[in-house]
Amino acid sequence: MTRKKRRLILQTEMTYVDVFEEFIRHKRIVGLAEETINAYTYNFKYLGKFIDVENELIKDIDPRVLLSDYVEYLKTNTNIQPITIATYIRHVVPVLKYAISREYIEDFKVEYPKYQNPIKEIYTEWELKTYQKGRLERNHVYFA
């Protein structure tokens, strides 16, 4: 019974920063790669430019609204490619899912932003032949 009361108190007083620090501590304990933790930390700092992570209580955050508003913010206020925006969202969601597992927020379904790869320039027939000829002249055989 006291454990549930403690959890309710944590729910009302934890900020997004508190949850993030707890999440990182947990990930270090389970042995997540330091590069991945650094990626989470980098993206968390970027999220801090969008919301006040120091003062925003986790219980006041609606994850669906947060993610959609964050995507909109990144699209309109930055010069970031759509694939990078999707990566940023993929680094924010695990923190929110951790908060769900700790019962700090309600569960939700994540909708990741869609993106298209940019169209690549195709070589002309002449460029292909010239490029292949240069490769063969160096006595190397490459298979495509």
**Residue ranges in the chain whose pLDDT is less than 50:** 1, 5-6, 8-10
Structural domain spans, the chain: 2-116
Structure tokens at 114: 């869609």
User: Which overall architecture, per CATH, does domain 2-116 show?
Assistant: Orthogonal Bundle (1.10)
Q: How far apart are CA 13 and CA 18, in angstroms?
A: 9
- pLDDT tens-digit readout, 54-96: 888 888 888 888 899 999 999 898 888 888 899 999 999 999 9
DSSP, res 105: S
What's the whole-number average pLDDT of the chain? 81
The closest alpha carbon to 81, from 90, 91, 71, belongs to 71
Largest CA distance in the chain: 79
